[in-house]
Structure 1
Amino acid sequence: MINLPPSGLAQVPLFPWLLWNLWKSINQALFEEKFFSEEETLLKSIREAISWKEAQSRRKIPEPVRESQATAPLSPESICCYVDAAWIEAFGDCEMGWHFTQANNVSFAQQSTHHDHVASALAAEALAVKNALFDALARGIRKLHVFSDCKVLISLLNSRKSTVELRGLLLDIRELDGSFIKLSFMFIPHVRNGLADTLVKSGLLPVNNASLAEV
């Protein structure tokens, strides 16, 4: 899908942001009786896409490094995404990081971001996966293998089960699934998720590492 560049979007695809805000508008109309016009939804999507684009230009990206891949039957044309998160229990904040690799197992794109008001370490991991999926769609990736060292989350995603705490996040992730041609979730040990872990910790340098929690 080719987008015209409204308000300076340029090469940033608008479709993922429209999809996300349409889904939120439907939920708010159904469950909160809040209604938004088409114009409001479109403007909100454009604002969020521009904010995402500006965040990419401000973020200092670490040098790419090689990363070991989990043993699994992977499609050669698919992209792998390694995701990690750390939760700052004292403040209820989290830092998230992910990177994409091609068939040659070399990272070609990386990202980390911060999020406030996160309920738990498990919620932080789920939020990281959701953000990584949005990033993949914005980059035009439609075949993706997602790797995480959070065994509980991967089990929930693959079994399509849910919890009260993660219900909204898991629903969002499953809705995003429909935008991919192929999407899978796989568990890897923490020691094999090194670059994603580095991206997370690089965003938390001012924070005492003793306050971090991972699952």
Structure 2
Amino acid sequence: MTTVLLADDQALIRAGFRALLDAEEDLEVVGEASTGQTALAQARALRPDVVLMDIRMPDGDGIEAATALLADPGLTATKVIMLTTFELDDYILDSVRAGASGFLVKDTEPEELLRAVRAVARGDALLSPSVTRRLLARLAAARPAAPRPAADIQALTGREREVLALVGRGLNNAGIAARLFITPLTAKTHVSRIMGKLDARDRSQLVVLAYESGIVTAGSAQDDGPGR
């Protein structure tokens, strides 16, 4: 059973999400919060598998709450999905950098919401790699971050740097395997090792790190077609 905490200042949004999630046999809403501080307190008390966190809330917004939550050593197993009204919200990149697994717009289709919660609970990427790539390329180009410390990247082997570059360009494990002439299982192993070395929670963070390290640039990300 995957447990979910809903954090949104609109009661109607929370009620709709609860009805949808609780109707599924493998999903259970264990709590609700209407402010950032309440969301953080609820997460610490309930330790849910997934938190659906609104970006804009009173008393500590969703970014602040997610940053504190994901830095809490007692909540390392909890994943966060940020909720936003606008697909290109300026705060999305900050959310992923803080450790959130990605984002959803609030008017997303019910099937997409369910798929996203299950995917994040499994530790998979929330968005399709191509969508993540295009979004973060635009945001990174608009607001570049400080470069990732070289020591972090130097911990990677040559092959791992190749794999990180392909993750940053939006390829999934099968696409990476085809590009490097390895098996999908080997590609998955490389990705897992990279996540461990760079202290990344999921592939969404690896995409950000690929840009921040300079391994992938917004221009080079356009070289690969979507959905590979």
- TM-score if structure 2 supplies the norm length? 0.26
- TM-score if structure 1 supplies the norm length? 0.27
Higher helix share: 2
Higher strand share: 1
Q: Which structure's relative contact order is higher, taking Cα pairs within 8 Å and 6+ residues apart?
A: 1
